[in-house]
Structure 1
Amino acid sequence: MASILSNTQKKKANYTLKELKSLGCDLLSSRAHINNLPLLLSFISPESPPQFVVESLLSLQSFFTPLLSQLPSTSSHPTSTKRPRSEDDGDDSATTAVADDPEVIFKAWLRSKFDEFVKLLIDVLVSDQSEDTLRDIVLGTLMEFVKLLNVGRFHSSIYHRVLDAIIHSAVDVEIFLDILSSKYFKYIDVRYFTYISMEKFVKTLEASVVSGDGTVTETNEAETDLKESLELSVRKIYQLLSRIPPPEKQAEKSQHEMWSGSDGSVNEKPTDKKKKKKEEDSSLLSPTTIAKRMKLKFTKAWISFLRLPLPLDVYKEVLASIDKTVIPHLSNPAMLCDFLTKSYDIGGVVSVMALSSLYILMTEHGLEYPNFYIKLYALLVPSIFVAKHRSRFLQLLDACLKSSLLPGYLAASFTKKLSRLSLSIPPSGSLVITALIYNLLRRHPSINHLVHLEIDEDNESLPKKKKLGIDRFKNLETDPKISGAMRSSLWEIDTLRHHYCPPVSRFVSSLETDLTKRAKTTEMKIEDFSSGSYATIFGDEIRRRVKQVPLAFYKAVPTSLFADSDFPSWTFTIPQEDGKC
């Protein structure tokens, strides 16, 4: 048989599509043509023409599908190897008879060819030579095997191999995600086992980047390629996780659609031990059970992923969306406290992006973080008013300072810090700072004295009308407790009255209202100012209706730019030559 197959392989390049289809028809018609099976498998290759791959795939899929329930498991292949019999051996005649049964040997051979078929399909799926249409067909065939091979229960092993190949391939993962999102992620069991596979991949990556003593391995020239490969895998895992619909969106449905679509029952009569295991598998794959456990698998997948050393761009993407896409669906959101507090302690834009999620944990899930306001105070720098996420940060800043239980020294320090920043930021920033200070003065009457406070040098506790020229506020101090803001005044706001930008100078007048009368005033909405820029200010100005327009009237048409009386002994008229105007 081997020589026949060898000769057939040599002639593979000479086959036409019609002949290939005939080979498939013969294979499906009779077992006598079983030698066509290895030949058809040889065409499942990235180097083969796509039409040849599809034709062979369809024939092999039609051949294997009716046999899937009869194929033995990979681990139960019989062996014809005989060993000497010992005295301890019992009656092995039945076992030997089964092992020597031609039908059992044939099914074991079929199983090996099926495993080869699956491997070849995965190779074609992740090959950079394959076309997108071919990938769609191949993935569809593999998912059919996932559905049917395990007697109707979800075959997680094949699905795990498919995802593993996708993550470690050089092909853009978005190609596969488009197919998975449009066709398969709507099934609850597909999402469930995707989370399980993601957790396994993350644990494998953790083992590859962490040494035996628990420290991260140092990167050298020999490990550069490995590091790049790991970063690529991390990015793909994140893309996959972020594309899976979150649990609660599907949990509202009364009926959960399953890809496997089976209750786990089989035709054969199982033993008590097998029966118990199959009942457990059936329970595992029931829609109700999966729906209950989905949030737990979602949590394990995301928490394990966030323990990885994330590339900076992935880190920022996660922080930007975690408050909406992850926290609401976790079984215990408090598990994110370590990740978020570490991110908040980093400083800069990373802290700004972590603030939203950290604020949710503090206000909704009881997280205690004593240094929260110290870190928040340190984020108030001029660059924050031109950052990409400034709008969300400024709204959160206003929300964090909203509590009436906020100590007076903290309210004063934030108010004074914002007031000082108004001198060195764009006009749009000055507008939002004025709104923030307005809200702070209205919420905390104990700091209203900052608006008009003047301090006596001899007795700092007694207000007195005395021009000192000294500001007790320590602008470079990082601890708001000792910033000296309570002994200062908001003189910076008075300079905004003469700001070069008219909207700023007009808006500062809102602070002249008596903010201690809360019933007569309302808080300003920070979102109305937080996204401002030069363009928005200019747009508002050109749309503004001006009631009084400055006009100039002349009794006689002027002949020069300045009158002679304005500049004595100066002449501004140009002598005209003859014939010239």
Structure 2
Amino acid sequence: MASILSKKQKKKEKYTLKELKSLGRDLLSSRAHINNLPLLLTFVSPESPPQFVVESLLSLQSFFTPLLSQLPSTSSHPSSAKRPRSEDDDDDSSKTKKAGADDPEVIFKAWLRSKFDEFVKLLLDVLVSEQSEDTLRDIVLGTLMEFVKLLNVGRFHSSIYHRLLNAIIHSAVDIDLFLDILTSKYFKYIDVRYFTYISMEKFVKTVEASVLSADRSAIENKETENDMKDRLEVSIRKIYQVLSQIPPPEKQAEKSQHEMWSGSDGSSSEKPTDKKKKNKEQDSCLLSPTTIAKRMKLKFTKAWISFLRLPLPLDVYKEVLASIHQTVIPHLSNPAMLCDFLTKSYDIGGVVSVMALSSLFILMTEHGLEYPNFYEKLYALLVPSVFVAKHRSRFLQLLDACLKSPLLPAYLAASFAKKLSRLSLSVPPSGSLVITALIYNLLRRHSSINHLVHKEPDENANEANSGAGEHNESQPKTYKKLGIDYFNNQESDLKKTGALRSSLWEIDTLRHHYCPPVSRFVSSLETDLTNRAKTTEMKIEDFSSGSYATIFGDEIRRRVKQVPLAFYKVVPTSLFEDSDFPGWTFSIPQEEGKC
């Protein structure tokens, strides 16, 4: 006994790994060595060597694991017996508490519970410490998840798991290190995903409260406000990373997807009695795999909808819009709840509107969303930069789908056709190719605008129109003289663009385009597109992702039967002749003495 006391009086730094193992073996062997417990806890620290932390962790985990079912809840402490009795307390339970307050066994278990809580806190500190190694983090995270499984006797311990996620969200360590472990080992369990969504919703509410407090203190201290906003952005990014890594709920879940981390299927070996038995049966029913699977979509919806209400950083905003139509909308309990978020995004303009179009189109076509100014906003997105944007492929395919209905009015189809043809003059060759394909489909679908392909000026009609005066304003006016285009490219109102009075003369200029694939492809518009039986629509996806590289690749693979040859009587010394550009010279003056 004296030797044990002498060991405990040693300083923490003087212990060797062998002595630490001896302390753990003694603790597991007999309750007489219970004083080794606080000593082992001191080694679970970021400052301790990793091997000491692991050795103490394994000993403490082996000690606490068999006792978890016997430990009282955090709130049930002997001092709680002194609290005032409420009207809802039963007489029997109050007598039991008073009797148990003086029971040494009750006091001992309450002390063990306090040490267990301390152990969990120390593990969380080690987990998120920048000094910890990745291997140590993996071991610590596994230990915490074991406590999540076992502490509640067959039920998921959401409190410890919430503290675990909270420590990860607010840590200075890269969250990818933790997400790799969670994704590979734990997110496959349905109850882990279920309680992750619940925790994420709680974190979002905390961030919302922080945003409000930051807005209130904006006038008082600008530096503090900037620091707070930076911290909030970091938290928002981490919440998004967690949400994006959780496998979404499936419409038809298989048995493998109902696998649970906790044993909440009623297979626990304990047989609780009286009131506890009834409560545990209710909790087991509440958290059964089938019940969780049914409620998973609701928790998924709450977590994502609350997250999308946050002031998202621009990079996160774009990432969400780029993937929301595939990862979020199909799994929401009510996708129409996203209409406010998507319509606001669509109204912003620029790249954000382009990225929001995909999700908004799904809500309009599949979930009955009405958006009165949809085509006006879509028309405004047609600018040269959209043909070199990162997400141009998806946008151009959606543009073709939005213009597919044969019920669109002629002025709208004509405005889009004319706007696209005007853009063909200022976009790269790949953009000219996809524009030609889009106009091809528009002319085939809407026979009422086929007159735009070739429209000759009719002088007799002009004289008749001038004689009719104002009484003939409803008839489409023809050209009064050559060289006038009545299309107003700057007009945002599709009814006032004057597209029906114009022609697709821009497409005719593409016949002489410097890029051969463009000039060859324009000939596809020469077919009779009013004969729908002999023509088929072009697949926009075949052209929407084109670039200089794809055009060059197609050209070098193309077999050419005839090669144009040039014969020069005199070998040229420059790329251009001086006569081609008066006032310019393309010869390189040679210095004296050099040839």
* TM-score relative to the length of structure 2: 0.88
What is the one-letter code of the residue matched to 1:358? L
User: In the alignment, which of 396, 399, 420 is matched to residue 398 of structure 2?
Assistant: 396
TM-superposed deviation, 1:551 = 4.0
Match of 1:300 in 2: 302
- 1:178-201 CA distance string (max 9 Å, x none): 000111011110111101111111
CA distance in 1, matches of 2:418, 2:77: 78
Question: In the alignment, does 2:475 pair up with 1:475?
Answer: no
> What does residue range 332-411 of structure 1 map to in structure 2 within 5 Å?
332-411=334-413
Aligned to 2:44, the other structure's residue is in SS state: coil
For residue 585 of structure 2, what is the aligned residue in structure 1? none
Give the letter for the 2:116 counterpart.
F
CA gap of 1:238–1:45, structure 2 versus 1, over 3 A, is same
Point out the more displaced range, 501-510 or 39-48: 501-510
Maintained 8 Å contact 1:454/1:466: no
Counterpart of 1:375, as a letter, is: K
Deviation per CA, 1:452-475, whole angstroms, max 9, x where unpaired? 224565637367686432111110
Secondary structure at the aligned position of 1:471 is classed as coil
Q: Any residues of structure 2 matched to 1:120-199 within 5 Å, and which?
A: 120-199=122-201
1:96 CA drift (Å): 3.6
Distance in 1 of aligned mates of 2:494 and 2:572: 56
Amino acid in structure 2 at the alignment position of 1:267: E
Letter in 1 for 2:49: P
Equivalent of 1:433, from 432, 435, 444? Answer: 435
* Counterpart contact for 2:393–2:544, Cα < 8 Å: yes
Is 1:78 paired with 2:92? Answer: no
Q: Give 2:423's aligned amino acid.
A: L
How many residues matched?
555
| Contact 1:209/1:217, CA 8 A, preserved across alignment | no
Q: Note the C-alpha offset of 1:7.
A: 8.9
Cross-structure match for 2:24: 24
The corresponding residue for 2:581 is none
Letter in 2 for 1:41: L
Partner of 2:425: 423
Task: Please list the CA deviations of residues 8-62 of structure 1 after superposition, one character each: whole Å capped at 9, or x if unmatched.
Answer: 4751100000000000000011111111000000000000000000000000000
C-alpha contact (below 8 Å) 1:80/1:100 kept by paired residues: no
Matched, 1:114 2:116: yes
Superposed displacement of residue 279, structure 1: 2.5
1:236-251 equivalences under 5 Å are 236-248=238-250, 251=253
Match of 1:517 in 2: 531
SS at match of 1:519: coil
Tell me whether 1:13 sits opposite 2:13 in the alignment: yes
- Describe the shift of the 1:422–1:360 C-alpha distance in structure 2 as closer, same or farther (beyond 3 A): same
Tell whether 2:511 aligns with 1:536.
Answer: no
Letter in 2 for 1:132: D
Shift of 1:434: 0.5
* 1:453-532 superposed matches below 5 A: 453-454=455-456, 459=465, 461=475, 467-532=481-546
Instruction: Return the letter of the residue paired with 1:474.
Output: N
Alignment partner of 1:45 is 2:65: no
CA–CA separation in structure 1 for the residues paired with 2:6 and 2:496: 86
Counterpart-to-counterpart distance in 1, 2:7 and 2:19: 16
The code of the aligned residue for 1:24 comes to G
Could you tell me which runs of 5 or more consecutive residues in structure 2 were left unpaired when the two chains were aligned. Answer: 86-90, 466-472, 579-594
Match in the other structure for 2:222 = 220
Q: How many Å apart are 1:293 and its aligned residue? A: 0.6
Residue of 293, 318, 321 corresponding to 2:320: 318
User: Structure 1 residue 222: deviation in Å?
Assistant: 1.4
Q: 1:516 to 1:17 in 2, by over 3 A?
A: same
Q: Which amino acid aligns with 1:22?
A: S
Shift in Å at residue 482 of structure 1? Answer: 1.4
- Could you tell me how far 1:528 is from its partner in structure 2? 1.0
In structure 1, runs of 5+ residues without a counterpart are 568-580
Separation (CA, whole Å) in 2 of partners of 1:398 and 1:541 = 26
1:123 is displaced (CA, Å) by 0.5
Report the secondary structure of 2:255's partner residue. Answer: coil
Residue 259 of structure 1: SS of its match in structure 2? coil
Change (3 A) 1:338 1:412: same
Q: For residues 212 and 571 of structure 2, what CA distance do their matches in structure 1 show? A: 82
**Contact preservation (8 Å) 2:462, 2:478:** no
State the alpha-carbon separation in 2 of the partners of residues 321 and 341 from structure 1. 16
**Contact 2:190/2:257, CA 8 A, preserved across alignment:** no
Residue pair 1:68, 1:148 contacting (<8 A) in 2 also: yes
1:275-286 → structure 2 map (5 Å cutoff): 275-286=277-288
Q: Distance in 2 between matches of 1:493 and 1:84?
A: 87
Alpha-carbon distance between aligned partners in 2 of 1:268 and 1:200, rounded to the nearest angstrom: 34
Residues 469 and 107 (structure 1 numbering): CA distance in 2 closer, same or farther, change over 3 Å?
A: same
Structure 1 residue 81: Cα displacement = 8.9
Corresponding residue SS for 1:281: helix
Structure 1 residues 116 and 468: CA distance shift in structure 2, 3 A: same
Query: Could you give the per-residue CA deviations for residues 209-266 of structure 1, whole angstroms, max 9, x where no partner exists?
Result: 1259x99967822121111111111111111011111110771336621100233457
> 1:267 aligned to 267, 270, 279, which one?
270
SS at match of 2:79: coil
User: Secondary structure, in 3 states, of the residue corresponding to 1:545?
Assistant: coil
Given that 1:5 and 1:35 are in contact with CA atoms closer than 8 Å, whether structure 2 keeps it comes out as: no
Aligned Cα root-mean-square deviation (Å): 2.9
Identity of aligned residues (%): 84
Aligned to 2:408, the other structure's residue is in SS state: coil
Aligned residues of 1:250 and 1:256 also touching (Cα < 8 A): no
Query: In structure 2, do the counterparts of structure 1 residues 366 and 217 end up closer, same or farther at CA, with 3 Å as the change threshold?
Result: farther
Q: How far apart in 2 are the matches of 1:496 and 1:227? A: 51
Tell me by how many angstroms 1:207 deviates: 1.2
Amino acid at match of 2:39: L
Distance 1:561 1:106 in 2: 102
Deviations 1:306-328 (CA, angstroms, capped at 9, x unpaired): 11110000000000011111111
The 1:82–1:251 alpha-carbon spacing in structure 2 relative to 1, beyond 3 Å, is closer
Match of 2:560 among 523, 541, 546: 546
With over 3 angstroms needed to count, the CA separation of the structure-2 counterparts of 1:185 and 1:521, relative to structure 1, is same
2:119 and 2:366 mapped to 1: Cα distance?
52
Distance 1:145 1:553, change over 3 A: closer
Q: Which residue of 2 aligns with 1:575?
A: none
Shift of 1:498: 1.4
Secondary structure of 1:74's match?
coil
Output the TM-score relative to the length of structure 1: 0.90
